[in-house]
């Protein structure tokens, strides 16, 4: 095997940086999504025109310095979808990283190279970003662990934004204990105690997923019940009354607000530079441009109602849902199949994004030989406690 049989890393000489000789992550290898700044290295953001039109960073993103000080080494920058605006992991410019657990199927995006590097055993853990599912979904599709932290928990300094009120730094690992070890370095202590006494199943979220996937996740649900007692059910889309009272309505508001933020952030550069985008990415930016300020303002108001409802729900409960509704699509699936995959997946991933709460995805079975993942959501700010619960569930599943 070469040192990158999975197409995970950028081509060319591999960036390598040694960490401190001591520390909680000493000796561990980390890959870095190429939207995170490393001094003296271009931050390509998945698009050659972006790399050519932006200066080379003069300093590391603070998260890089924190990892190096904790003893981790940096073992290369990874491929991502253009400007992180995709859930597919198929780059028009740099190709599609390969899925070690499901050959012939996508890795998922936009943190595709980071997920592929961890799933393929090329590194111990990897950094990604998650705006609409870009860590959670690739983790589930490749059979590894991933976290989207509480929004704002880790400052995004030195990282390229997509939609700032949704952007988070996340990371991947092949075991839950390492996921938590990295969290202890990056997150700092939880601000307040969280003592979940209830297990709540997001009934409408489960209904979005394929039946075979729901059945594959049944043992994980039972393992959670052995820890927290019999599950309750809730219809998440109806936690707030109104004409948006279903998950499709919340997904549409997520897209309206996210799209508006994306165009506010990148529209001027796109119109000035006219960058070379792949066809699907170009269409997404056209959609982003089409979102009105009025639609975004309405979505912003209703988002706060939804976030408050999720905060009340998770005050003493764990919310559980499938991470993705389907197994990884095949690389040669039709454009229509990929559109359906994206639409259904955003219906699930928008929940944590709108509510700003942490979500951990755990590998929890297979369908047709492809991995599937189950997700746990906690109250905002309870990231470390959520990571500990994920490690406990993972241990129960391994022993079953």
| Catalytic machinery residues | 33, 110, 134
Residue 202 exposed, middle or buried by CB count within 10 Å (0-12, 13-18, 19+): buried
Contact (Cβ atoms closer than 8 angstroms) between residue 153 and residue 165: no
Sign of CA dihedral 198, 204, 205, 207: positive
Three-state DSSP class for residue 330: strand
Q: Give the distance between the most distant pair of CA atoms in the chain.
A: 57
CA proximity to 63, closest of 12, 129, 143 = 129
Contact (Cβ atoms closer than 8 angstroms) between residue 145 and residue 362: yes
Residue 110's contacts (CB-CB under 8 Å, 6 or more residues apart) are 46, 80, 81, 84, 85, 86, 87, 89, 128, 129, 134
**β 370-377/317-322 pair status:** antiparallel
Three-state DSSP class for residue 271: helix
């Amino acid at each position: 095997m070469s040192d990158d049989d999975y197409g995970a890393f950028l081509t060319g000489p591999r960036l390598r940086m040694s960490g401190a000789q001591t520390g909680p992550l000493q000796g561990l290898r980390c890959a870095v999504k190429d939207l995170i700044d490393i001094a003296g290295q271009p931050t390509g953001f998945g698009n050659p025109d972006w790399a050519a039109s932006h200066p080379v960073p003069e300093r590391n993103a603070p998260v890089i310095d924190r990892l190096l000080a904790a003893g981790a080494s940096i073992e290369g920058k990874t491929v991502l979808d253009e400007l992180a605006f995709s859930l597919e992991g198929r780059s028009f410019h740099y190709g599609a990283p390969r899925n070690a657990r499901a050959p012939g199927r996508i890795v998922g995006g936009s943190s595709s190279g980071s997920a592929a590097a961890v799933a393929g055993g090329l590194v111990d853990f990897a950094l990604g970003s998650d705006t609409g599912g870009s860590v959670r979904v690739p983790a589930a599709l490749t059979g590894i662990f991933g976290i989207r932290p509480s929004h704002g928990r880790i400052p995004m300094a030195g990282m390229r934004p997509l939609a700032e009120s949704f952007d988070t730094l996340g990371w991947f690992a092949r075991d839950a204990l390492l996921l938590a070890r990295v969290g202890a370095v990056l997150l700092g202590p939880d601000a307040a105690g969280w003592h979940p006494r209830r297990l709540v199943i997001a009934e409408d979220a489960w209904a979005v997923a394929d039946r075979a996937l729901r059945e594959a996740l049944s043992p994980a649900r039972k393992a959670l019940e052995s820890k927290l007692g019999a599950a309750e059910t809730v219809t998440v889309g109806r936690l707030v009354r109104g004409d948006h009272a279903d998950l499709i309505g919340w997904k549409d508001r997520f897209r309206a607000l996210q799209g508006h933020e994306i165009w506010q952030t990148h529209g001027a550069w796109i119109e000035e530079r006219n960058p070379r985008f792949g066809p699907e990415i170009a269409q997404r930016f056209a959609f982003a441009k089409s979102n009105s300020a009025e639609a975004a303002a309405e979505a912003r108001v209703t988002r706060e109602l939804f976030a408050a409802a999720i905060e009340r729900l998770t005050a003493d409960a764990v919310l559980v849902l499938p991470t993705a509704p389907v197994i990884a699509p095949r690389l040669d699936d039709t454009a229509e199949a990929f559109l359906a995959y994206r639409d259904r997946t955003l219906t699930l991933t928008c929940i944590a994004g709108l509510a700003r709460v942490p979500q951990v995805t755990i590998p929890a079975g297979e369908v047709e030989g492809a991995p599937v993942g189950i997700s746990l959501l906690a109250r905002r700010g309870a990231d470390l406690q959520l990571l500990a619960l994920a490690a406990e569930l993972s241990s129960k599943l391994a022993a079953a």
